[in-house]
Structure 1
Amino acid sequence: MERGNCAFCREDTEADVFLLGRSEGRPFSYRKCRGCGLVFLSPRPDGREMRSYYAGEYYGQGDCKFRPGLEIFRSYFASRRVRRVQAFFPGPGKALDIGCGQGTFLQLLREKGWECGGTEFTPESAARASRRGLPVAVGEFDPERFPRHAFDLISLWHVLEHLRDPRRVLASLPGLLKKGGIVALSTPNMESLQAEVGREKWFHLDPPRHLYLFSPRTLDEKMESLGFRLVALYHFSLEQNPYGWLQSLLNLAGLPENSLYGIL
């Protein structure tokens, strides 16, 4: 285990414990930065220990994370994201998806004429996207592995909360974007009603994999401090919100933690 801190203010971990979470019976503490209000995990597993929390069962079996029937819905939600981001561009461009998973979003973009590539943390997960014919860089995101000012779109779908140093990653993105390029991302909302009701039983808390928890305010402030300008903000996700409510309420009712997710 190692000490965590606010990746943006570099405040020490002496901040008060904001929220306690558990994973497989093990307690974890989230703290709120006194400087900016960002919530972060501390102490947290070091890099080597963290890999055990991304073991095979986290990514599912075979080429899919979930059962085949559910993957149909996931493809539908990915197609909605494709339509949403395409609305900002006059035509196809070049995209990089950080934490691309099995590559569904990139595959759908490619079918629309985009040139696509991705990154993935583990070789096992990267192999799924590679089998779709997508170029995937394996390991923690390293901007030096990519050409400068080459991408029209860089996406991070539920990735930001997993990063050990989100500031470093976000600060590197302007150097990879073309002029007029866009960063599209999604992350759990720490100030949502679902988070307030669920507290330590909130499904999207997910310690220790979620190292940082943002609110719309903290995310906007951090992005703006790095030179980004907000062009659109959405608070509701049909893919995440209904299921997040259901699993959080089941957790609060005393069922085994995230048991429905395990079945899916």
Structure 2
Amino acid sequence: MNSTTADPLFQPIRCANCDAGPEQHRLLIETRVTHRGHLHGLPLRVVVCGRCGLTFLNPQPTPAALQRFYEREYYADAKPISAEARMKEKDWQRTILLPWLLAHLPPVKNWSILDIGCGYGEWLRHFDRSNRLLGIEQSESAARAANERFGVEVRQCDFLANGYDAGRFDLVTGLAIIEHFSDPLAALVETNRITRTGGFVYLQTPDLHALVLRKGTPRYFKLVHTYYFTLATLTSLLRKAGFEIVAARRRPAMLSTSDALRPGNYWSGELDVLGRKTAEVSLAEAHAHAGTGDAPGESAALLAAAQTRDEHYARLTALYRVPAIGRLANHLVRAGYKLTGRNTKRVDFHTAQIEALAAGGKKRSVLSD
């Protein structure tokens, strides 16, 4: 089965932010579907809107193809994991995301909270027990695990057909989920519908403008990410959907110091955006609202720079197998680098620091306490 049959798997789309048609979309990169399943091996084209700079797959998997993928195939390769191990794996949500979110909200007590794409329900368990915690998850296996292992009340359904009453929730969250929707504006308008006026939406997603990519840049662009956001394009969609921006930040890439020289362990920074519902908005009204964004050439220029860094990373591969942090430090010193610490805990690496390291700069401060 392929995208040229009577039951197409892909369809062309217009820009979700400014409604520009395919004739205004510029090719950014071409790759193929690597996930197992009925879409495996099919070509993917990532484009940049020539009007507003929004980046997305086009053509895009049809809603039916995506629904089949998430319900049956997305978690097919996932390894069994205990509830305790799952919580430990997701502890960064408690230590990095939750403090920032709570600092910008009124006291979160006795709220009704919904997490979209809740997976196994780990994020919801970080909130105070006085709140009513609900989740939506398309994967049958993940939804079942969330109910059985973590006691989270989860509906297994498509978010756009969730069936919740209007104004039901005080807070709706979506961690690494907005980039998965085939129509993010429709998803945000539905979020508006089920959120009370004055209620909040919190989104966390990869930052396109913080790409720090491993060798083989196309691997970052994949089927499950139908959209790639910058702070400008994500906040534009939220405003179109009836939310004002309460707080927003760009977080740098993170990695462990013991893996500091492994390009494959770098990942892009993240966006955190908190919005407050100010008005009821229909999808037609949202589409009619003019969207803002980035200079269309900005994402393409940053991607080109990321691709050139692939060759710089090759200079560091000889150090990949250094087994101990002490020996790693000695190798770096002999190579001419200045180390500011030997902290084996997690550290922040800003893009500029990573670029300096990848370019082979001498006597740079590349590790920090």
Contact 1:163–1:211 under 8 Å retained in 2: yes
Alignment of 1:91-130 (within 5 A): 91-92=108-109, 93-111=111-129, 113-130=130-147
TM-superposed deviation, 1:214? 0.9
| Matching of residue 33 in structure 1 with residue 49 in structure 2 | yes
User: How big is each residue's C-alpha offset from its partner over 1:192-249, in whole Å with a ceiling of 9 and x where there is no partner?
Assistant: 242xx5696266x341110011111111122122221111112116xx6438x84266
**Bigger Rg, structure 1 or 2:** 2
Alignment of 1:103-252 (within 5 A): 103-111=121-129, 113-131=130-148, 132-142=150-160, 145-194=163-212, 201=217, 205-236=220-251, 241-242=254-255, 246-247=263-264, 252=310
| Matching of residue 18 in structure 1 with residue 18 in structure 2 | no
Inter-CA distance 73–135: structure 2 relative to 1 (3 Å threshold): closer
Q: TM-score, normalization: structure 1?
A: 0.79
Residue 13 of structure 2 corresponds to: 4
Residue 5 of structure 2 corresponds to: none
Inter-CA distance 91–74: structure 2 relative to 1 (3 Å threshold): closer
RMSD: 3.2
Inter-CA distance 74–143: structure 2 relative to 1 (3 Å threshold): same
Residue 74 of structure 1 corresponds to: 90
Indicate the larger mover: 150-159 or 72-81: 72-81
Residue 261 of structure 1 corresponds to: none
Which ranges in structure 1 are unaligned for 5 or more consecutive residues? 255-264
Contact 1:201–1:248 under 8 Å retained in 2: no
Indicate the larger mover: 33-42 or 47-56: 47-56
Give the aligned residue type for 1:38.
Answer: L
Indicate the larger mover: 50-59 or 210-219: 50-59
TM-superposed deviation, 1:95? 0.4
Indicate the larger mover: 95-104 or 172-181: 172-181
Instruction: For 1:165 and 1:142, locate their aligned partners in 2 and report how far apart those are by CA, in whole Å.
Output: 10
Residues matched between the structures, number:
246
Inter-CA distance 59–83: structure 2 relative to 1 (3 Å threshold): farther
TM-superposed deviation, 1:49? 3.5
Q: TM-score, normalization: structure 2?
A: 0.58
Instruction: For 1:5 and 1:64, locate their aligned partners in 2 and report how far apart those are by CA, in whole Å.
Output: 42
Which ranges in structure 2 are unaligned for 5 or more consecutive residues? 1-9, 35-40, 257-261, 268-306, 315-369
Give the aligned residue type for 2:15.
Answer: C
Aligned-partner SS, 1:100: coil
Instruction: For 1:226 and 1:147, locate their aligned partners in 2 and report how far apart those are by CA, in whole Å.
Output: 18
Residue 45 of structure 1 corresponds to: 61
Residue 260 of structure 1 corresponds to: none
Give the aligned residue type for 2:217.
Answer: K
Instruction: For 2:82 and 2:228, locate their aligned partners in 1 and report how far apart those are by CA, in whole Å.
Output: 27
Give the aligned residue type for 2:13.
Answer: G
Give the aligned residue type for 1:119.
Answer: I
Aligned-partner SS, 1:232: strand
Residue 102 of structure 2 corresponds to: 86
Instruction: For 1:127 and 1:118, locate their aligned partners in 2 and report how far apart those are by CA, in whole Å.
Output: 11
Instruction: For 1:36 and 1:199, locate their aligned partners in 2 and report how far apart those are by CA, in whole Å.
Output: 29
Instruction: For 1:149 and 1:2, locate their aligned partners in 2 and report how far apart those are by CA, in whole Å.
Output: 33
Aligned-partner SS, 1:127: helix
Give the aligned residue type for 2:98.
Answer: V
Instruction: For 1:236 and 1:220, locate their aligned partners in 2 and report how far apart those are by CA, in whole Å.
Output: 16
User: How big is each residue's C-alpha offset from its partner over 1:51-106, in whole Å with a ceiling of 9 and x where there is no partner?
Assistant: 347626566223569x93x7514134235433333331224111000000110111
Instruction: For 2:43 and 2:255, locate their aligned partners in 1 and report how far apart those are by CA, in whole Å.
Output: 26
Instruction: For 2:144 and 2:28, locate their aligned partners in 1 and report how far apart those are by CA, in whole Å.
Output: 38
